[in-house]
Structure 1
Amino acid sequence: MITITSIEAEDKKLLAKADVSLPFHGLEPEGRMLVDSDGSAFVYLLAHGEDYVQLRFEEKTWNILNTYHEAEWPIYIKTGIKPVELVDFWTEFEFLLDNIEGNHNYGKEFVEKVEQVFLAERSEG
C-alpha cells in the first residue's frame, strides 16, 4: 500500500505524490478504484506484473480532489521515471460517490465524511 501525501495542480493536470519513491518500471493503471471505509480512503489500483499496488487517497487529499472533481483534470502518480496517468480515475471516483451517498453499508462515519466533503453541493442543490 502506498499513501498519497499530497496532490499538486500543474498545467491542467494533477500530480499525486506518494509516501515512498516509485522508481520501478512496469506500473500499469488498472482503471479501478476501491474504498477502505475503515481507513477513510479511496484506493486506486495499479498493476505491477502479477501484483497490485494500492494508492491510498486518504482524507488529507480529499479537499483537493473535491476542488478538481468537476473539472476532471487528469491525475498522475509521480514516479522516479515518468508520471503514470491514473486512467478512469474520475469515472471510478464518481461511481463510488454515487454508491456511497446515503449507503451506510460503507459505515456511517465514512459515509458522513464523504458526504460532507464531496456531496454537500448535491444535497443543497
Structure 2
Amino acid sequence: MAKKIEVTKLMITERDVSVFVDDNSALKDKHIQPEGRMLADSDHLAFIYILDVEEDFIYVSFPETVWSHLNIALNKNLPLFLYTDDDIRIPLLQFQEELLYFISNIAENSNYGKKMVDAVSHVFSIEM
C-alpha cells in the first residue's frame, strides 16, 4: 500500500511554488520520480500527487486547507516543487494539467460527492 504524506505549507514566489510536507522522512536520500499523475480523494477533500520512490508509491496529499494557494498557483501558471530536504526539491511534473482536469471534471459532477463538488467550486476560480 502506498504511503501518504500531507502538504502542510505552500510558499508562492514570482517564479514558483515550494511545497512542504508534514513528514519528509520517506523522501530523504531516495531516488524519486514524479509520476505526473494525480487522484482526487473526495472522502478527505484532497488532491493526491503520485511519486514513484524506489519501486514504491508515495501519495502527496494536498488537503483543502492549501487549495486557496493552489488556486493562486494555477492562475499564475507557476510550477510546483516538493522539498525533500533543506536544499533538494523535486518538480511536480504535469501538476497544473492534472489539477485543471480534476477541477473541470469535478465541477457539478455528483460522482465526487456534494462536499467535494461544493469545496472545489468554492475555492477554485480559474482565470483563462
Above 0.5 in TM-score? yes
RMSD (Å) for aligned C-alpha atoms: 1.7
What is the aligned counterpart of 1:19 among 19, 22, 26?
22
The correspondence of residues 1-125 of structure 1 with structure 2, limited to 5 A, is 1-21=4-24, 22-80=27-85, 82-119=88-125
Measured at CA, do residues 121 and 69 of structure 1 come closer, stay the same or move farther in structure 2, by a change above 3 Å?
closer
Aligned equivalents of 1:67 and 1:11: distance in 2? Answer: 11
Give the superposition deviation at 1:50.
1.8
**Percent identity at matched positions?**
34
What TM-score, normalized by structure 1, do the two folds share?
0.91
4+ aligned runs moved over 3 Å, structure 1:
119-122
Q: Secondary structure at the match of 1:60?
A: helix
Measured at CA, do residues 119 and 10 of structure 1 come closer, stay the same or move farther in structure 2, by a change above 3 Å?
closer
Measured at CA, do residues 63 and 2 of structure 1 come closer, stay the same or move farther in structure 2, by a change above 3 Å?
same
What TM-score, normalized by structure 2, do the two folds share?
0.89
Aligned equivalents of 1:62 and 1:32: distance in 2? Answer: 18
One-letter identity of the residue aligned with 2:118: E
Between the two proteins, the alignment pairs up a number of residues equal to 122
